[in-house]
Amino acid sequence: MTPYDAHATARTIPTPALTDGFGRKVTYLRVSVTDRCDLRCVYCMAEHMRFLPKAEVLTLEELDRIASMFVSLGVRKLRLTGGEPLVRKGLMTLVESLSRHLRSGALDELTLTTNATRLAEFAPDLARLGVKRVNVSMDTLKPDLFARLTRGGDLARVQAGVEAAGAAGMKVKINAVALARDNAAEIPALIQWAHERDLAITLIETMPMGEIDEDRTDQFVSLGDVRRDLESFWTLRDLPLTTGGPARYVEVLETGGRLGFITPLSHNFCESCNRVRLTCTGTLHSCLGQEDATDLRAVIRAGAADADLARAIAGGIDAKPKGHDFRIARGAAPSVSRHMSTTGG
């Protein structure tokens, strides 16, 4: 794969600041490289998903071109997501290509969100190419429950991936979705497990995205309630910390570890949002919880010059809405119709 270098022509492009209509500067792009996944988490996907045909998915070269254009326009952090990014054939070629922006200093960070089922295999190469942090989705410490929540996943394999990433020198953060019926009572144990291994952990409220086989209403847990419960036996100290994402962080004084809360429903984070998402089909979503869309695949497949692509990106950023419309109500349709696996986690 020949790297696409937007910087080679950047001087000829009218470079718009990636600032939306509310004055928020966009510096963080999450890139979904595939809608496919080797797990079927019950809160994320239907059991029998219909995945996209290959022709609708961006090639590695197209992903490189669009992501590199974002970097040339001021994005400082790229996160590769899915689906499960490590199931995308040739992914390491894309990582190697994008890593040139780390070496040039144009990019501060290249990261990955993964379910870790294949992380043990890829961790050494990811670390070699400059990936210093990965987020791993893991909602329980119970093998049987993990298998049920993921419809067949192997918890031991995920934990081996976490260990391999640490051994390769990468920082690992655990992401756990809070589920009222399944893991809510286990949250303190999850936090303890992570902190004993010097891992940060972030809790996430379930989000109403895409039709699934369950009613999310029964599973929703307010993380405000979770925090109050944790504070009945631990001391949580707020941290003035941001990693470029939506989490609010605390230190658990008794464990010495870091804990994050992502609360799109009980306490939204829209006022400081600095991120946008590119789907594997080339659709730019400037808000996770809105149906806004800018079709960048159509732009580049029509033979657009770099300046045209830059203008299309700037237009999508300018239209970024003030906030999302996430809500959960019994019997209500999802707030957005697309699945998280398509949007990019």
Would 54 be classed as within a structural domain? yes
Would 31 be classed as within a structural domain? yes
Average pLDDT over residues 72-95: 97
Q: Alpha-carbon distance 58 to 52, whole Å?
A: 11
* Residues 180/218, Cβ–Cβ less than 8 Å: yes
- CB burial of 262-284 (b: ≥16 within 10 Å; e: otherwise) equals bbbbeeebbeebbbbbbbbbbbb
Q: What would the pLDDT profile of 258-315 be if each residue is shown by its tens digit?
A: 999 998 654 555 666 788 999 999 999 988 767 778 999 999 999 999 999 999 999 9
Average pLDDT over residues 146-173: 97
Question: Does pLDDT of 131 surpass 90?
Answer: yes
* Residues 139/146, Cβ–Cβ less than 8 Å: yes
Q: What is the pTM of this model?
A: 0.87
Question: What is the average pLDDT score of the chain?
Answer: 87
Would 338 be classed as within a structural domain? yes
At residue 210, the pLDDT reads 46
Give me the domain span that covers residue 243: 6-343
Lowest mean pLDDT among 100-109, 219-228, 253-262, 329-338: 329-338
Cβ burial of 157 (10 Å; 0-12, 13-18, 19+) is middle
pLDDT band at 209 (very low <50, low <70, confident <90, very high): very low
Would 311 be classed as within a structural domain? yes
User: Backbone phi, then psi, for 102, in 5-degree steps?
Assistant: -70, -45
Helices (H), the chain: 60-72, 91-98, 100-104, 119-128, 143-149, 155-167, 187-196, 223-230, 296-301, 306-318, 340-343
Q: Assign 224 to helix, strand or coil.
A: helix
Spatial CA neighbour of 278 closest among 293, 268, 258, 265: 293
At residue 204, the pLDDT reads 93
Cβ burial of 101 (10 Å; 0-12, 13-18, 19+) is buried
The type of residue at 126 is: L
Q: What would the pLDDT profile of 239-260 be if each residue is shown by its tens digit?
A: 987 655 678 999 999 999 999 9
The type of residue at 315 is: G
Q: Which of 90-94, 263-267, 275-279, 319-323 has the highest mean pLDDT?
A: 90-94
- Number of domains within the chain: 1
| 272 or 9, which is more confident | 272
Lowest mean pLDDT among 156-160, 206-210, 323-327: 323-327
Q: Alpha-carbon distance 86 to 71, whole Å?
A: 22
Q: What would the pLDDT profile of 213-226 be if each residue is shown by its tens digit?
A: 555 567 888 999 99
Would 232 be classed as within a structural domain? yes
* Residues 328/209, Cβ–Cβ less than 8 Å: no
Share of the chain above pLDDT 70, in %: 82
Instruction: Lay out the sheet containing 200-205: strands in order across.
Output: 236-238, 248-252, 257-262, 200-205, 171-178, 133-137, 109-114, 77-81, 28-32, 275-278, 283-285, 294-295
Would 1 be classed as within a structural domain? no
Q: Assign 226 to helix, strand or coil.
A: helix
pLDDT band at 141 (very low <50, low <70, confident <90, very high): very high
Question: Does pLDDT of 103 surpass 70?
Answer: yes
At residue 67, the pLDDT reads 98
Would 206 be classed as within a structural domain? yes
List % helix, strand, coil for the chain (3-state, nearest 5).
Answer: 35, 20, 50
Share of the chain above pLDDT 90, in %: 68
Would 111 be classed as within a structural domain? yes
Residues 6+ apart with CB under 8 A from 105: none
Question: Does pLDDT of 212 surpass 50?
Answer: no
CATH at residue 125: 3.20.20.70
At residue 270, the pLDDT reads 63
